């Protein structure tokens, strides 16, 4: 069953007798309890790590490694992101494409988080959809400027998941556990070379492996004006990147679930433009 919701249902009436905050709280509770329970998170993450996250028992070093402040709100947000990526996968199977306007937390490992990533939302999506027998095989196409180390570690040695990562080699993370296919780019790569490498990589991956679903990690940080990236793609080049991913997938009738991942442009408007372009182009490929 689908339900309908928008944050704008909340009238922000503070202490008024009409409890308009209920809309948001119901949505959050449904997502937490029904869509993604601790058992779903445990399909990817260690029980010890989940317990520490929920109880606020991460060590100082573990919090430092996350590089974002720990709070109960953070745990709630990443929990909801995991639910969002499960839903995005499920709806992509029906509609051809679907986007979680969040997630893409590819640096999260089974037993720890790092680099702004607490839970690997789309890895949880893959495991949950496999468990539901909605899919057997999945592919991750990770176009964030940083390598998908957590995803590579989670699915390493699992023949049911193909991980593709195209990224700047000379950048975080270190080390980089091997993806099924890593495309290591040198600093300063521009549109034409990037698109050529990505096209070849996708052809190679899709000739070797036939997934039931692709999770597209559509990072905005390969952008030339990104503060944490060292590639030189233009906004138009990133649009062509998105289109390339959807075209290659659609040629083989493979549904695509999108997660946003990173984006640290000097002007936040550029990050927003890059991400909204991805969603607009995805819509062209939905049924
Ligand atoms: Zn990134």
Write out pLDDT tens, residues 213-253.
999 999 999 999 999 999 999 999 999 999 999 999 999 99
| pTM of structure | 0.92
Give the tens place of pLDDT for each residue, 183-203.
Answer: 999 999 999 999 999 999 999
The Å distance, Cα 262 to ligand 1 centre, comes to: 4
Quote the pLDDT of residue 34.
Answer: 62
What share of the chain has pLDDT > 90, as a percent? Answer: 85
Place of tokens 């999506």: 125
Q: Give the model confidence (pLDDT) of 72-91 as tens digits.
A: 989 989 998 999 999 999 99
How far is the centre of ligand 1, averaged over its atoms, from the C-alpha of 1 (Å)? 34
Query: Residue 17: its pLDDT value, please?
Result: 81
Cα distances from 236 to residues 191, 223, 224, 241, 281, in angstroms, run: 8, 10, 11, 9, 12
**Helix H or strand E encompassing 166:** strand 161-168
Write down the pLDDT at residue 11.
84
* Ligand 1 centroid distance, CA of 74 (Å): 19
25-38: burial string, b at 16+ Cβ within 10 Å, e else = eebeeebbeebbee
- Distance of CA 257 from the midpoint of ligand 1 (Å): 18
CA distance 202 to 204: 5
d(CA 207, CA 202): 8
Between the CA of 144 and the centroid of ligand 1 the distance, in Å, is 5
CA of 187 to the centre of ligand 1 (A): 15
| 172 alpha carbon – ligand 1 mean position (Å) | 8
> Degrees (nearest 5) of the Cα angle 190, 273, 256?
80
- Residue 110 Cα to ligand 1 middle (Å): 19
At residue 1, the pLDDT reads 66
pLDDT of residue 19: 80
Compute the average pLDDT of residues 245-268.
97
CA of 141 to the centre of ligand 1 (A): 13
Contact 182, 165 (CB under 8 A): yes
Residue 31 has pLDDT above 90, yes or no: no
Closest CA relative to residue 182, chosen from 140, 210, 212:
140
Tell me the percentage of the chain whose pLDDT exceeds 70: 98
Average pLDDT over residues 104-130: 97
Distance in Å, CA 118 to ligand 1 centroid = 14
Q: Residue 33 has what pLDDT?
A: 65
- Interval 42-67 mean pLDDT: 96
Cα(263) to ligand 1 centroid in Å equals 7
CA distance 37 to 80: 10
Average pLDDT value for residue range 121-132:
97
- Token output for 162: 């193909």
Tell me: the pLDDT tens digits for 90-116? 999 999 999 999 999 999 999 999 999
Which of 29-33, 103-107, 148-152 shows the lowest mean pLDDT across its residues? 29-33
Q: Mean pLDDT, to the nearest integer, of 246-263? A: 97
Residues, CB within 5 angstroms of ligand 1 (ion): 144, 146, 219, 221, 262
Please give the distance, rounded to the nearest whole angstrom, from the Cα atom of residue 19 to the centre of ligand 1. 39
- Determine the straight-line distance between the first and last CA of the chain, rounded to whole angstroms: 19
Kindly give the distance from the C-alpha atom of residue 261 to the centroid of ligand 1, in angstroms, as a whole number.
6
Residue 143 Cα to ligand 1 midpoint, Å, equals: 9
CA of 228 to the centre of ligand 1 (A): 7
């Amino acid at each position: 069953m689908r339900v309908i919701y928008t944050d704008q249902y909340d009238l922000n009436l503070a202490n008024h007798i009409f409890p308009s905050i209920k809309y948001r709280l119901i949505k959050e509770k449904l997502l937490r309890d029904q869509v993604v329970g601790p058992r779903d998170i445990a399909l990817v993450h260690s029980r010890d790590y989940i317990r520490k996250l929920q109880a606020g028992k991460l060590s100082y070093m573990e919090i430092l490694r996350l590089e974002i402040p720990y709070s109960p709100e953070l745990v709630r947000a990443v929990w909801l992101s995991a639910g969002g990526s499960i839903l995005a996968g499920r709806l992509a199977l029906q509609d051809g494409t679907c986007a979680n306007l969040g997630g893409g937390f590819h640096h999260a490992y089974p037993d720890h988080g790092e680099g702004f990533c607490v839970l690997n939302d789309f890895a949880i999506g893959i495991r949950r959809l496999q468990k539901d027998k909605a899919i057997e095989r999945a592919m991750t196409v990770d176009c964030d400027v940083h390598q998908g180390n957590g995803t590579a570690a989670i699915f390493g040695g699992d023949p049911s998941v193909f991980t593709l990562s195209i990224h700047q080699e000379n950048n975080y993370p270190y080390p980089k556990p091997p993806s099924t296919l890593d495309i290591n780019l040198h600093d300063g790569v521009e549109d034409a070379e990037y698109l050529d490498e990505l096209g070849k990589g996708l052809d190679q991956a899709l000739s070797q492996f036939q997934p039931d679903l692709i999770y597209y990690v559509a990072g905005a940080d390969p952008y030339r004006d990104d503060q944490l990236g060292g590639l030189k793609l233009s906004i138009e080049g990133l649009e062509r990147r998105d289109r390339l991913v959807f075209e290659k997938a659609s040629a083989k009738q493979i549904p695509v679930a999108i997660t946003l991942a990173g984006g640290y442009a000097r002007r936040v408007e550029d990050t927003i433009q890059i991400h909204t372009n991805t969603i607009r182009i995805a819509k062209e490929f939905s049924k």
